[in-house]
Amino acid sequence: MSDTMTETPTVTVDEVSIARLHGFACWTCGAVTHQLAPYDDVAVAGTGRTWTVFRCAHA
């Protein structure tokens, strides 16, 4: 097991769709009709907020 911590990815508001950020669409491919599962956390620059994003099995 590694002792290094992974850094939360940071995105800007212009880089991400609100559907992907809120977990209504796959973070990777944008699909909205597939079953989604928690994938990772991302921070939105300038908001001080971290969001859990989701990914489908097809991504």
pLDDT per residue as tens digits for the range 5-22 = 567 889 888 888 889 999
User: What's the number of domains the chain is made of?
Assistant: 1
pLDDT value at residue 1? 45
Q: What count of Cα atoms within 13 Å lies in the side-chain half-sphere of residue 46? A: 4
Rg (C-alpha) for the chain, rounded Å, is 12
Residue 1 lies in a domain: no
pLDDT per residue as tens digits for the range 20-57 = 999 999 999 999 999 999 999 999 999 889 999 999 98
Residue at token pair 């950020």: 21
Residue 5 lies in a domain: no
Distance CA 58, CA 48 (A): 31
pLDDT value at residue 41? 94
Selection from 51, 37, 47 nearest residue 9 by Cα = 51
Query: 39 lies in which domain range?
Result: 10-56
Residue 25 lies in a domain: yes
Whether the per-residue pLDDT at 2 is higher than 50: the answer is no
